[in-house]
Copies of this chain bind each other. A is one copy, B any other.
Amino acid sequence: MPMRILVLGGAGMIGRRLIDALVADGTLSGRPISAIHCFDVVEGGFASPLVSTSAGDIADADTITNLVEARPDVIFHLASVVSGEAETDFEKGYRINLVGMQNLLEAIRLAGDDYRPRLVFTSSIAVFGAPFEEPIRDTFLHAPLTSYGAQKAICELLISDYSRKGFVDGIGIRLPTIVVRPGKPNKAASGFFSGIIREPLAGVEAVLPVGDDVRHWVASPAAAVGFLLHAATLDTADLGDRRSLTMPGLSVTVGEMVDTLRRIAGDETVALIRREPDAAISRIVAGWPRDFSAERAANAGFKADPDFAAIVQAHIADERARKHETGGNAT
């Protein structure tokens, strides 16, 4: 039976990579993909005739009901207001990140007893808040310190409960910080983790606002897509009633990141990293989790990046491919 796939938030960085991977493979769980629908707040553009697109507001119940009426077999829910925006715009954060999920789960539940799609939700390690145990195990309390983290934690509880009741076959995957993010620097407090690799490799100066001893939990964009595809295909019976998992990442220090960049790209590249300590960013970063055991995810077959060098090499390969595609003009 052919497979229909819905990707909510499909026009973002991870969503596009996911859709490209699905198109390239042409199958999911051994079944041919007959249709992929990309829904986002902006219209996504995809070359493949397999992919249709639409744009709208995920917090509008009718919009979501219409998307669910097509009865996709697998729904990837990646749509989210990011951490910083959910903090500054409280109402928008709850509307998009919580009401959006409530609408989706209700649309699925009300679609009928014979409809029980796989739902893959991108949660976040922001469900955890200091003080931590270290490493953080799979049984550690969710005590978020941001509205974004609270919304993700609530969505996880809803997914487990709706799955337990048999209304949906859901799984939440807590993504590490994605490094190296392509594109322009952004204002996220975590932006420098990508910036100190991406900018120097492009011959541009990058600011490092924290000390070399700062440790963080990271995964590559390719690993994130791997997590999503695995979550869409694994046997959820093995998860029991705890439907969300911390994805396996790498726990690396800034110093290790810089050393890796030096080994791969040399002293001249590393010289483009300008150390400019920022007390505010250092304080924010100090409140983030740094290391996880992620045993359940490993047991469920999720695969971390092998090491940080592989993450840097993958970014270099991605950028080469992008330059090739765009005739030399990296965007």
Which A residues are within 8 Å of any B CB, using their own CB?
90, 129, 133, 138-145, 147, 150, 153-154, 157-158, 160-161, 164-165, 241-242
Smallest CB-CB separation from A132: which chain B residue? B139
Asked if A165 and B147 make an inter-chain contact with CB atoms under 8 angstroms apart, the answer reads yes
**How far apart sit A143 and B153, CA to CA, in the bound complex (Å)?**
11
* Nearest-Cβ distance from residue A168 to partner chain B, whole angstroms: 13
Q: How far is the CB of A259 from chain B (nearest CB, A)?
A: 34
How far apart are A217's CB and chain B's nearest CB, in angstroms?
Answer: 18
Question: Do A129 and B90 touch (CB < 8 A)?
Answer: no
Determine whether the beta carbon of A157 is less than 8 Å from that of B165: no
Q: A150-B157, A157-B150, A158-B150 are in contact. Are A142 and B141 (CB under 8 A)?
A: yes
CB neighbours of A144 from chain B (8 A): 157, 160-161
Q: How far is the CA of A180 from the CA of B49 in the complex (A)?
A: 67
A152, closest chain B residue (CB): B157
Cβ-defined partner of A161 (8 Å) among B147, B158, B241: B147
Most buried by B among A133, A143, A147, A160: A143
**A185 CA / B160 CA spacing, docked (Å):** 32
What are 15 A-to-B residue pairs whose CB atoms are below 8 Å? A129-B241, A129-B242, A139-B141, A140-B140, A141-B141, A142-B142, A143-B241, A144-B160, A147-B161, A147-B165, A150-B157, A150-B160, A153-B157, A154-B158, A157-B157
Q: Give A160 to B150 CA distance when docked, in angstroms.
A: 9
Query: Is A145 in contact with B164, judged by CB distance below 8 angstroms?
Result: yes
User: B160 contacts A143, CB within 8 Å?
Assistant: yes
Q: How far is the CA of A141 from the CA of B293 in the complex (A)?
A: 15
Q: Note all chain B residues with C-beta closer than 8 A to A154.
A: 154, 157-158
**In the complex, what distance in Å separates the CA atom of A239 from the CA atom of B140?**
18
B157 with A161: CB separation less than 8 A: no
Report how far A133 CA is from B90 CA in the complex, Å.
35
**Complex: chain B residue closest to A241, CB-CB:** B145
Residue of B nearest to A147 (CB): B161
15 other contacts beyond A150-B157, A150-B160, with CB at 8 A cut-off?
A129-B241, A133-B139, A139-B140, A139-B141, A142-B157, A143-B160, A143-B242, A144-B157, A144-B160, A144-B161, A147-B165, A150-B158, A150-B161, A154-B157, A157-B157
A241 to B164, CA, bound (A): 29
Most chain B CB inside 10 Å of its own CB: which residue of A138, A139, A154, A157: A157
